[in-house]
Amino acid sequence: MNQTLGALARFANPAELIEAAQKIRDAGYKKFDCHSPFPIHGMDDAMGLKRSPLGFIVGAATLTGATVGMSLQYWVAAVDYPLVISGKPFFSWQAFIIVTFALFVLFGAFGAVFGMLHLNRLPRLHHPVFYSDKFAKVTDDAFYVSIEAEDELFDEQKIQNFLSSIGGSDIELVAGE
């Protein structure tokens, strides 16, 4: 049994998409998104999005990496098998900074990529917007708004009028299982 999962509307250009985002936000919708072939400057504010928390994820990842790096070298060189090399102390931390830094960056990069994928709930190969054939143009040159049916204000009858009143075209209801 097919049910309505959301609504799509197309807008002509980035400026109209931003205006639409402001109006949808002001109308009180929460579960909507603005799709574009490239990121649009000013869209976060227009949609009323909070800052991305990715920085905290990356920060935690880098600190983990640095801790792992320094403790690995400490354990290897000073605890598990201490060897005197060139008369240097077992725990020659100055020489260990390089590898510590490398792992700081390595863990941070993994944190940035997998943190981003987690926040975006990707990979997700199946999504209601893909039911629309026209929507595929969004990765080329189209600008779309999508409003999910799960939104509290979503009403199948009213949504189409609302989207056309804010300047949307090619309005369609997306239905699927």
Partner 1 sequence: MSILNKHPQRDSAATEAIGGQELLVTGGHSFSTLTDKVSGIVETKTPPKWYLLFVMAVSGMMVLLGSIGWLVWEGTGVWGLNNPVGWGWAIVNFVFWVGIGHAGTLISAILFLLRQQWRTAINRFAEAMTIFAVISALVFPGIHIGRVWLAYYMFPVPNQMLVWPNFRSPLLWDIFAVGTYFTVSTLFWYVGLIPDLATLRDRATKVRKKVLGFFALGWRGGNRQWQHYEKAYLMLAGLATPLVLSVHSVVATDFATSMVPGWHTTIFPPYFVAGAVFSGFGMVMTLAIIARKIYGLEDIITINHLEKMNKIILVTGSMVGYAYMTEFFIAWYSGNDFEVFAFVNRAFGPYAWAYWIMFLCNVITPQIFWFKKLRRSIPVMFVASIFVNIGMWFERFVITVTSLSRDYLPSSWDYYSPSIWDILTFVGSFGLFFTFFLLFLRFLPMVALSEVKGVLPEADPHHYHHHKGGAK
Q: Any contact of residue 14 with partner 1 (CB under 8 A)?
A: yes
Token pair in block for residue 141 = 């040159």
Task: Decide: residue 87, CB within 10 A, 0-12 exposed, 13-18 middle, 19+ buried.
Answer: exposed
DSSP tag of 49: P
Interaction between residue 151 and partner 1 (CB under 8 A): no
CB of 148 to partner 1, least distance (A): 11
Considering only residues 50 through 69, tell me which ones interact with partner 1, judged by CB under 8 A: 52, 54-55, 58, 62
State the Cα torsion 160-163-164-166 to the nearest 10°.
160
Provide the β-strand partners of residue 172.
8
- Token pair for 170: 């090619």
Nearer to partner 1, 56 or 161 (CB): 56
Residue from 11, 96, 131, 162 binding partner 1 (CB under 8 A): 96
Q: Tokens 């049910």 belong to which residue? A: 3
List binders of partner 1 among 108-147 (CB under 8 A): 108-110, 112-113, 115-117, 119-120, 122-127, 129-130, 136-141, 146
44 is a contact residue toward partner 1 (CB under 8 A): yes
Q: Among 5, 18, 159, 163, which residue sits at the site for partner 1 (rule: CB under 8 A)?
A: 18
